[in-house]
């Protein structure tokens, strides 16, 4: 079988997204430094602000499995699979802050338009100094 890319994993889990309110399905695949991969999708709620983003869903899965060291994350999102494969879906501010808890500024964020760095999207993460 063909080797699956990180984006393939994100596209696969995107199909499980629960997004009846926005109609916007997101998938994220987080690779740990040991090579293991944890995925997450957005999970919406009738109480809208309770919605969980795909990226935080993936991070929570990994942390619960005992992983805290990450190599990269791939993210795809869109109202259709075709859109998700072409239009880049950068992580929201809340997810960037959660990523910054575990990853440094050079952490690679794989979108459909190429590889970005965490510091490109969040140059000044909040820190308790």
Q: Which residues are catalytic?
A: 55
9, 39 in Cβ contact below 8 A? yes
Return the range that interacts with ligand THU (CB under 6 A); candidates 16-24, 61-69, 106-114, 120-128.
Answer: 16-24
91, 121 in Cβ contact below 8 A? yes
**# of chain residues touching ligand THU (CB under 6 A):** 13
Asked if 42 is part of the footprint of ligand THU (rule: CB under 6 A), the reply reads yes
Asked if 51 is part of the footprint of ligand THU (rule: CB under 6 A), the reply reads yes
Asked if 45 is part of the footprint of ligand THU (rule: CB under 6 A), the reply reads no
- Rounded to whole angstroms, the Cα distance separating 2 from 60 reads 28
> Which has the closest alpha carbon to 79: 29, 12, 5, 14?
14
Kindly state the greatest CA–CA separation across the chain. Answer: 48
List, in sequence order, every residue forming a beta bridge with 76; answer none if it has no partner.
27
Which DSSP category does 109 fall into? E
- For ligand THU, which residue of 10, 19, 109, 122 counts as binding (CB under 6 A)? 19
- For ligand THU, which residue of 29, 37, 39, 44 counts as binding (CB under 6 A)? 44
Q: Which of residues 52-81 bind ligand THU (CB under 6 A)?
A: 53-55
Contact residues toward ligand THU (CB under 6 A) are 19, 22, 24, 26, 42, 44, 51, 53-55, 91-92, 95
């Amino acid at each position: 079988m063909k080797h699956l890319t990180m984006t393939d994993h994100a596209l696969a889990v995107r199909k499980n997204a629960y997004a009846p309110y926005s109609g916007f399905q997101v998938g994220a695949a987080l690779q740990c430094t040991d090579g293991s991969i944890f995925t997450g999708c957005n999970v919406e709620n009738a109480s809208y602000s309770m919605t969980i983003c795909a990226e935080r869903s993936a991070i929570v899965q990994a942390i619960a499995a005992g992983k805290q060291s990450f190599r990269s994350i791939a993210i795809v999102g869109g109202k259709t699979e075709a859109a998700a494969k072409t239009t880049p879906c950068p992580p929201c501010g809340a997810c960037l802050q959660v990523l910054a808890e575990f990853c440094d500024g050079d952490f690679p964020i794989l979108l459909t338009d190429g590889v970005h760095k965490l510091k490109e999207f969040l140059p000044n993460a909040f820190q308790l100094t």
